[in-house]
Amino acid sequence: MPHTYWNAGAGELHQTVTLEPALQHERFFESVYGLAAEGFTPERRTFKNALLGAGLVVEHHTWLAEVPMTLQRVVFPPLAALARMLGFRVWKPEFTGSPASQPDSSSLR
């Protein structure tokens, strides 16, 4: 089901979410917050960020709610493949606080 997360108010937002089955969602959020700490944000319109964004979408199967799926399925996989060829990774071991999370071979830098 298409959806998105945002804070519609001016104050701090606390949200509790249950994902069943959770699959790799913990790694997705580790990736998002780890990359944000390194300067990646969707608002920064850079080539590197476009590649990392494509990598997040493809690696974690978290498609964008506001972009047609047909377009995403055509555009994002080649961009994610280019990111991998250039050595970009969307998940790094230092992004996790849990030793149970281990990178897989499809991770991007």
Q: Are 84 and 104 in contact (CB under 8 A)?
A: no
Q: Is residue 63 part of a domain?
A: yes
Q: Is residue 13 part of a domain?
A: no
CB neighbours of residue 21 within 10 Å: 6
Q: Which long-range contacts (CB under 8 A, 24 or more apart) does 29-36 make?
A: 30/91, 30/95, 30/96, 30/101, 31/56, 31/59, 31/60, 31/90, 31/91, 31/95, 32/56, 33/95, 34/91, 34/92, 34/94, 34/95, 35/90, 35/95
List, for residues 26-70, the tens digit of each pLDDT value.
888 899 889 989 888 877 888 888 999 999 999 988 888 888 999
* Residue 46 lies in domain: 25-95
Above 50 in pLDDT, residue 105? no
Q: Is residue 51 part of a domain?
A: yes
Q: How many domains does the chain have?
A: 1
Q: Is residue 11 part of a domain?
A: no
Q: What are phi and psi of 75, to 5 degrees?
A: -85, -45
Q: Could you tell me the pTM of the whole model?
A: 0.69
Q: Is residue 12 part of a domain?
A: no
Percentage of the chain modeled with pLDDT above 90: 32
